[in-house]
Amino acid sequence: MQNVTIVILIIVAIIAMVLGGWISFADMDDSATMTFHKSEVKKDTEQAVKKGEELVKDAAREGRKLIDNTEDAVDSDEPAEEEADFEPEQSEVLETPR
Protein backbone atom coordinates (compact mmCIF):
# COMPACT_ATOMS: atom_id res chain seq x y z
CA MET A 1 0.00 0.00 0.00
CA GLN A 2 2.83 2.36 0.87
CA ASN A 3 4.55 1.68 -2.48
CA VAL A 4 1.37 2.49 -4.37
CA THR A 5 1.10 5.81 -2.55
CA ILE A 6 4.70 6.70 -3.43
CA VAL A 7 4.16 5.83 -7.10
CA ILE A 8 0.98 7.94 -7.21
CA LEU A 9 2.80 10.91 -5.62
CA ILE A 10 5.60 10.63 -8.19
CA ILE A 11 3.10 10.54 -11.06
CA VAL A 12 1.23 13.56 -9.67
CA ALA A 13 4.53 15.46 -9.27
CA ILE A 14 5.53 14.71 -12.88
CA ILE A 15 2.11 15.80 -14.17
CA ALA A 16 2.37 19.04 -12.16
CA MET A 17 5.84 19.70 -13.61
CA VAL A 18 4.57 19.10 -17.14
CA LEU A 19 1.61 21.41 -16.61
CA GLY A 20 3.91 24.02 -15.05
CA GLY A 21 6.19 23.93 -18.09
CA TRP A 22 9.17 22.51 -16.22
CA ILE A 23 9.32 19.24 -18.18
CA SER A 24 8.48 18.41 -21.77
CA PHE A 25 8.52 15.16 -23.71
CA ALA A 26 9.32 14.62 -27.38
CA ASP A 27 9.02 11.54 -29.57
CA MET A 28 11.62 11.30 -32.33
CA ASP A 29 11.62 8.31 -34.69
CA ASP A 30 13.33 5.61 -32.60
CA SER A 31 13.90 7.60 -29.43
CA ALA A 32 12.02 9.67 -26.92
CA THR A 33 13.38 12.58 -24.95
CA MET A 34 12.45 14.32 -21.77
CA THR A 35 13.64 17.92 -21.37
CA PHE A 36 13.94 19.61 -18.01
CA HIS A 37 13.58 23.39 -18.49
CA LYS A 38 15.89 24.85 -15.86
CA SER A 39 15.13 28.44 -16.86
CA GLU A 40 11.40 27.92 -16.16
CA VAL A 41 12.16 26.36 -12.79
CA LYS A 42 14.51 29.23 -11.90
CA LYS A 43 11.97 31.87 -12.98
CA ASP A 44 9.12 30.23 -11.05
CA THR A 45 11.20 29.77 -7.89
CA GLU A 46 12.37 33.39 -8.02
CA GLN A 47 8.75 34.53 -8.26
CA ALA A 48 7.80 32.27 -5.37
CA VAL A 49 10.63 33.66 -3.24
CA LYS A 50 9.59 37.26 -4.02
CA LYS A 51 5.97 36.54 -3.10
CA GLY A 52 7.11 34.80 0.08
CA GLU A 53 9.22 37.82 1.04
CA GLU A 54 6.24 40.12 0.41
CA LEU A 55 4.01 37.94 2.60
CA VAL A 56 6.57 37.98 5.40
CA LYS A 57 6.93 41.77 5.17
CA ASP A 58 3.15 42.21 5.21
CA ALA A 59 2.81 39.89 8.21
CA ALA A 60 5.59 41.76 10.05
CA ARG A 61 3.93 45.09 9.26
CA GLU A 62 0.57 43.86 10.56
CA GLY A 63 2.25 42.42 13.65
CA ARG A 64 3.90 45.77 14.36
CA LYS A 65 0.53 47.51 14.00
CA LEU A 66 -1.05 45.11 16.50
CA ILE A 67 1.81 45.62 18.94
CA ASP A 68 1.58 49.40 18.57
CA ASN A 69 -2.19 49.32 19.10
CA THR A 70 -1.76 47.16 22.19
CA GLU A 71 0.94 49.45 23.59
CA ASP A 72 -1.26 52.49 22.91
CA ALA A 73 -4.17 50.87 24.71
CA VAL A 74 -1.99 50.00 27.71
CA ASP A 75 -0.42 53.48 27.84
CA SER A 76 -3.73 55.33 27.53
CA ASP A 77 -5.51 56.66 30.58
CA GLU A 78 -8.75 54.93 29.65
CA PRO A 79 -9.77 52.25 32.13
CA ALA A 80 -9.66 48.76 30.73
CA GLU A 81 -12.90 46.85 30.48
CA GLU A 82 -12.99 44.34 33.27
CA GLU A 83 -14.59 40.98 32.91
CA ALA A 84 -17.34 40.36 35.40
CA ASP A 85 -16.68 37.47 37.74
CA PHE A 86 -19.35 34.82 37.53
CA GLU A 87 -20.76 33.97 40.90
CA PRO A 88 -23.55 31.44 40.75
CA GLU A 89 -26.50 32.10 42.97
CA GLN A 90 -27.40 29.56 45.60
CA SER A 91 -30.43 28.43 43.61
CA GLU A 92 -28.29 27.64 40.58
CA VAL A 93 -25.95 25.30 42.43
CA LEU A 94 -26.69 21.68 41.64
CA GLU A 95 -26.66 19.22 44.45
CA THR A 96 -25.13 15.82 43.97
CA PRO A 97 -27.34 12.87 44.83
CA ARG A 98 -26.40 10.93 47.96
- Position 73 scores a pLDDT of 75
pTM for the model stands at 0.51
CA–CA distances in Å: residue 63 to residues 51, 68, 82: 18, 9, 25
Q: Dihedral, CA atoms, 37, 6, 26, 35, nearest 10 degrees?
A: 20
Whether residue 31 is predicted with pLDDT greater than 70 in this model: the reply is yes
pLDDT in tens, 13-22: 989 898 988 9
Q: Determine the 3-state secondary structure of 76 from DSSP.
A: coil
Whether residue 92 is predicted with pLDDT greater than 70 in this model: the reply is no
